[in-house]
A and B are shown apart, each in its own frame.
Chain A
């Protein structure tokens, strides 16, 4: 039960390590998207520090979304997904392992990179702390929800844009909670309530999202 989980995580990490573009592309994307905002709107510190929470959260959300599209793709193409489906191992644990693996190569490094970008957008220190904490809890939720979309669209040739249409509306609560928490941090208010809410969303996602993903994978593989 646990073995299959850790084996899946280890395998995906190894693949990501070998194929370093998996690791670097989401981060590069994140960095470039954030850079576009000062260029497109204004370089003024007042404007940017107001925009920073939303910009960083939206960019993190898009980076996760674009990378989650390929979560099951290679397994589907080389036939190992079918092997997993017919094996007696619990699919729930495999999916959970894949999601954790995905978070470790996208959401987590992204969280580590964010302070640099936050400083470049003139976000105050209190806001950066809130941003880091919310990203730490929030990016796994993004991976979990994204996996549902990836599972449903894995058999389709052009899933890229479709997965955005399916998944982005479901990202709304995470985005709202994240940016509100950062705003509260900037204003010097407590954001513990936001973190608790996000934490409960994470727990719910951990329990339910792999179920939906597993069901989606079975459908995609059978067609």
Chain B
């Protein structure tokens, strides 16, 4: 247990994390590029067209992973907030800080690509559908966390306040989703029905799986790049950062 604990604290030390992430980063960049390129080429050029939607379904390969990542990035953000509050780890606060804008951008992507996909398929950019509406609320939750941080001058207090807000949001997300789904089933518009699609053949869902992996990897890469700068900002008075600045 003692060993695990010391490992935990070592991992949470900004300097150690900066060094190890610096070594990992090139690998992550390479992997992200490779996986995303494979997924995009396969999805755009080689996957067979959908028998109902034709080629418009190819938007799925960028839309579905964005939606998955948007939700998991909120979870990661709230989790980082909890870790920061409980164990008072500075790195966790930075993790929350960097996850928020990335998560917001993925939520935006999910909504934007969903709207573009909706136009040829449903005939309209926007539908007040349960999933779209929950995504919109998720975007608002991300915006709230970002707005709270930018409004508070004291950095340490801002980190804790954002952690609390993120956790409150996390508790609310299942309630919001449930209520939105209930609202949708009772207001169900007659013209648009998102019925279950028939099972996809493997040559359609394998590229999707690749894209999901690629998005996760891209998120990890972007998150690492950002948190490294945040670490430098936070530790700018320490000797190791000063040395780095001098030799850079």
A contacting B, Cβ–Cβ less than 8 Å? yes
Contact of A223 with B172 in the complex, beta carbons under 8 Å: no
Contact of A165 with B157 in the complex, beta carbons under 8 Å: no
* Least CB distance, B237 to chain A, in whole angstroms: 20
Contact of A156 with B151 in the complex, beta carbons under 8 Å: yes
Q: Which chain A residues lie closer than 8 Å to B85 at the CB level?
A: 215
Q: Which chain B residues lie closer than 8 Å to A155 at the CB level?
A: 152, 157
Contact of B164 with A172 in the complex, beta carbons under 8 Å: no
Contact of A212 with B164 in the complex, beta carbons under 8 Å: yes
Which of B46-54, B90-98, B174-182 forms contacts with chain A? B174-182
Interface residues on B, range: 20 to 34
Q: How far is the CA of A215 from the CA of B69 in the complex (A)?
A: 29
Secondary structure at the B interface, as helix, strand, loop or mixed, is helix
* Least CB distance, B132 to chain A, in whole angstroms: 14
Q: Which residues in chain A, 129-178, are within 8 Å of chain B measured between CB atoms?
A: 148, 152-153, 155-156, 158-159, 162, 165-166, 168-170, 172-173, 176-177
Is residue A222 contacting chain B, with contact meaning CB distance below 8 A?
yes
Contact of A180 with B186 in the complex, beta carbons under 8 Å: yes
Central interface residue in A201, A219, A223, by most chain B CB within 10 Å:
A219
Q: How far is the CA of A29 from the CA of B153 in the complex (A)?
A: 32
* Least CB distance, A68 to chain B, in whole angstroms: 15
Q: Which chain A residues lie closer than 8 Å to B178 at the CB level?
A: 173
* Least CB distance, A217 to chain B, in whole angstroms: 10
Chain A: which residue is nearest B142 at the CB level?
Answer: A169
Known: A170-B172, A173-B179, A180-B186. A220 touches B161 (CB 8 A): yes
Q: Which chain A residues lie closer than 8 Å to B45 at the CB level?
A: none
**Cross-chain pairs A/B with CB under 8 angstroms, 25 sampled:** A152-B164, A152-B165, A153-B151, A159-B151, A162-B148, A165-B144, A166-B144, A168-B140, A169-B140, A169-B144, A169-B169, A170-B168, A170-B172, A172-B137, A173-B179, A176-B179, A177-B179, A180-B182, A180-B183, A183-B186, A208-B171, A215-B85, A219-B157, A219-B160, A222-B157
Q: Which residues of B does A touch, CB under 8 Å?
A: 85, 137, 140-141, 143-144, 147-148, 151-154, 156-157, 160-161, 164-165, 167-169, 171-172, 175-176, 178-180, 182-183, 186
**Pairs A-B, 9 closest by C-beta atoms:** A223-B157, A223-B154, A173-B179, A169-B140, A176-B179, A166-B144, A176-B183, A219-B160, A173-B175
